[in-house]
Structure 1
Amino acid sequence: MTARGMTTASRTVTGTSVGARLGGIDAARGLALLAMMATHVLATFGSDAQLTPTWIGLAFSGRASALFAVLAGVGLALSTGKQQPVQGPELWAARRGIALRAVVVGAVGLCLGGLEVNIATILVHYAFLFLCVLPFVGLGAKRLLVLAAAWMAAAPVLAYLLRPWLLSAAPPLKLGHNPGWEDLAAPARLFGDLFLTGYYPVLQWIAYLLVGLAVGRMALSKTAVPFLLLAAGTVTAVLAKWLGLVLMEDWGGRRALEARIGDPAYPLDSLLQVNLAGVDQSGSVWWLATSSPHSGTTLDLLHTSGVAVAVIGACLLLGRLGTWLELDLLLPFRGIGAMTLSLYTAHVCVMAALHGLPLAPGWTVEGVYVAQAALMLVLGGFFARQKWRGPLEWVTHAANQLGRRRPSRARRPARAG
């Protein structure tokens, strides 16, 4: 190969694939983790009576976790054939691998559920999302996009109808805490919380993985696709948020919901901007018209999916820019993104260790966040340079490989003629 050919090949590896993975996808996953950590550590509401939203809450609440979920779908698509989804025995093998990987992730999540921490952990929901999309991993991009649109339209309505029924049970089918191993003894309450009444309702969140699968089935290595993702995601996000504001402010939705709540402890104006997860969204169909973070409505799903797709497009474009400049601009972020399970688990453990304790002299919550983020950037960059997996990623990879392994058929002895 000529020197020019070697340079071209090197650029191809750096710009479009790192260890057979798109570096921009890992970088987006790293950004998602850092943004989720910001909502865990830093205040999303002010301390005043009106709960004035902070810029952290306005920027990241609902969007960071949605980006994390969409990227889960992208990862599934990249590991099951990219543009051409695997079929037949290979598809079934891939599904087995994904299922075993989900079991590992769910087990880690259940272990974290036993910690005292003021964080709504996502891993158990994440594992069930993997299992729920197994029937769809063999579909192409167009079918996935149609299915995602239909899911976004139907799932919030179904959740709105079913949620009051689950909450009216005795006792209510809602945990009120992170799922842990002890909750396996009450499966009805556990599944009710995971799918409908909890912080990350799987019923609606399946839409995020469907969007991610569709994105992963696109030709991400082509120049035009990242631009398309950035443009389409931005337009979708803006239109969904604009429509939500029109319905709430101009068509009377907010006034109707404020009359429904009637509790000054829940200033609806602030909650609509940052987080509706703690509000009982029942009794008025106007709840379905909001575009608020963690409302699980059609407009919320559209807006947060649009933001996620736009971020993925931007990260892919930054990866291409780094290729052109012959610089790995995304190295620390894609390093974090390649070991998010290990780093997310470590972050939750650190916050659990600090839970209820006063900060050491000279420390602030901002300092706690910056210290964790800086350490992750250093570790991520080092692991990426060494091409190492994180410790928990090794376990999930082994589980995936075990599930994909097909038993060898024993040869039958030849019959004598």
Structure 2
Amino acid sequence: MTARGTATASRTAKGTSAGARLTGIDAARGLALLAMMATHVLPTFESDPQLTPTWVGLAFSGRAAALFAVLAGVGLALSTGKQQPLEGSALGAARRGIALRALVIGAVGFSVGGLEVNIAIILVHYALLFLCVLPFVGLGARRLLLLAAAWVLASPVLAYLLRPWLLAADPPLRLGHNPGWEDLTTPARLLGDLFLTGYYPVLQWIAYLLVGLAIGRMALSKSMTPFLLLAAGTVVALGAKWLGIILMEDWGGRHALEAQIGDPSYPLESLLQVNLVGAEQSGSVWWLATSSPHAGSTLDLLHTAGVAAAVIGACLLLARLGEWVELDLLLAFRGAGAMTLSLYTGHLCVMAALHNQPLAPGWTVDGVYWAQVIGVLVIGAAFAALTWRGPLEWVTHAASRVGSHQSARVRQPTRFR
């Protein structure tokens, strides 16, 4: 083979690997969106007295939103140098672009916060997470992993110590509803809720973006990296969940918590499996030993981050398989994942329209969910095939370009970020 042919083949291989990487990441975002929608629409508990968890609660609660957050970190890494983080003025420009993108996402979040929905909307927290990790986007994979490990260990303890002080304030620094524009008039209450007392406590959730940044700094195009993510993520996820069960069931943690809280409104055994948001996690250090969804504990962060890493590795492998067989196995999922902000917002509007309204004759809750899934996948596939950005993605991209002062002549490697 000639030198020219060798160079051409090398460029083709690199392009293929990069395409598989971005396809896999977008597909993982699409899966995260569908899983989050499932927890919004379908019940997570049965209606029996024991509140038996449903398969949706057991499979997706806590894990879907965590995957969404980890992928946010991956996206930030891919847009700031991939394996080689940006430096100097280029890094500063990238940070300004990220900050403006976060402001747009936050504005969308505050706007939909007024919708009448029985859904904890993540967008304002998501935007704040972008701003909080700006100091770390210039770090390499090793430093990010060390920082993520320290954050996973320290932030739950700090939250456990600080949360009672915020809740003891008069009035308590907790919203009890989705953040809306009116909450900007009470900044202490808003920030207390966003960082510590709300549904997605940013203080602990920064760990997810740090993990995502570290994953994005890895050589995702190399053949072994997806296998490493899948294997390591699975081991961490299973190990954290196993240790949490041992601590709660064999070492007496659950009984200690039941004695501490007295007669809980919901069976603690069920809450530990699905969602701890409704429980007041104070008064006993055993709360720090749970691996329950939305506990914000070290084991919860480890388990959900491990699941996210494993899902990302699996999606990267499927994307690479699709290129080998010359078939886009993930078209619909990657299309949906490339426009999650638009589709997530549309899903919220649909759910607001259905809130407290009787279902049309012949419709069931399952039917409402699957109809939205089909709509999301069809729209995602259409936009992917036409290489279009979603409408809100177009706005965030424009904001990022303005913030980073990027020339319009600079060619973007792909429309799907």
Corresponding residue for residue 265 of structure 1: 265
Secondary structure of residue in 2 paired with 1:279: coil
1:11 touches 1:323 (CA, 8 Å); kept in 2?
Answer: no
Q: How large is the RMSD of aligned CA atoms in angstroms?
A: 1.8
Rounded to whole Å, the distance in 2 between the matches of 1:9 and 1:149 is 36
1:16 corresponds to which of 15, 18, 40: 18
- Structure-2 separation of matches of 1:274 and 1:220: 32
In structure 2, what is the Cα distance between the partners aligned to 1:60 and 1:406? 38
Mapping 1:113-132, distance limit 5 Å: 113-132=113-132
Structural mapping, 1:7-406, within 5 Å: 13=15, 16-17=18-19, 22-405=22-405
Aligned-pair distance for 1:260? 1.4
Structure 1, unaligned stretches of length 5 or more? 408-417
How many pairs were matched up? Answer: 405
Show CA shifts across 1:290-334 (max 9, x none).
Answer: 000000000000000000000000000000111111100011000
Letter of the aligned partner of 1:16 in structure 2?
A: A
AA of the residue aligned to 1:174: R
CA distance in 1, matches of 2:7, 2:335: 27
Q: Which moved more, 1:256-265 or 1:241-250?
A: 256-265
* Pairwise CA distance, 1:265: 2.3
- Report the more deviating stretch, 380-389 or 209-218: 380-389
Measured in 2, the distance between the counterparts of 1:37 and 1:183 equals 26
Q: Per-residue displacement from partner, 1:131-185 (whole Å, max 9, x unpaired)? A: 0000000000000000000000000000000000000000000000000000000
The code of the aligned residue for 1:191 comes to L
Deviations 1:61-117 (Å, cap 9, x if unpaired)?
000000000000000000000000000000000000000000000000000111110
State the alpha-carbon separation in 2 of the partners of residues 83 and 345 from structure 1. Answer: 32
Whether contact under 8 Å (1:77, 1:85) holds in the other structure is: yes
Taking structure 2 as the reference length, the TM-score comes to 0.94
2:401 partner amino acid: Q
Instruction: Decide whether aligned partners of structure 1 residues 14 and 373 sit closer, same or farther in structure 2, where only a CA change above 3 A counts.
Output: farther
Q: Is the 8 A contact 1:16 1:319 kept in 2?
A: no
TM-superposed CA distance for 1:8, in Å, is 8.4
8 A Cα contact 2:258 2:264, kept in partner: no
C-alpha deviation, 1:352, in angstroms: 0.4
- CA drift of 1:130 comes to 0.1
Structure 2, unmatched stretches of 5+, are: 408-417
How far 1:16 sits from its partner (Å)? 3.2
User: Cα offset for 1:50?
Assistant: 1.2
d(CA) in 2 for partners of 1:4, 1:327: 25
2:91 partner amino acid: L
Structure 1: which 4+ aligned runs deviate by more than 2 Å? 1-16
Q: Secondary structure of 1:32's partner?
A: helix
Of all paired residues, the percent bearing the same amino acid is: 77
Tell me the amino acid that sits aligned with residue 37 of structure 2. Answer: M
User: What is the rounded CA distance, in whole Å, between the counterparts of 1:383 and 1:205 in structure 2?
Assistant: 31
Q: Distance in 1 between matches of 2:164 and 2:237?
A: 29
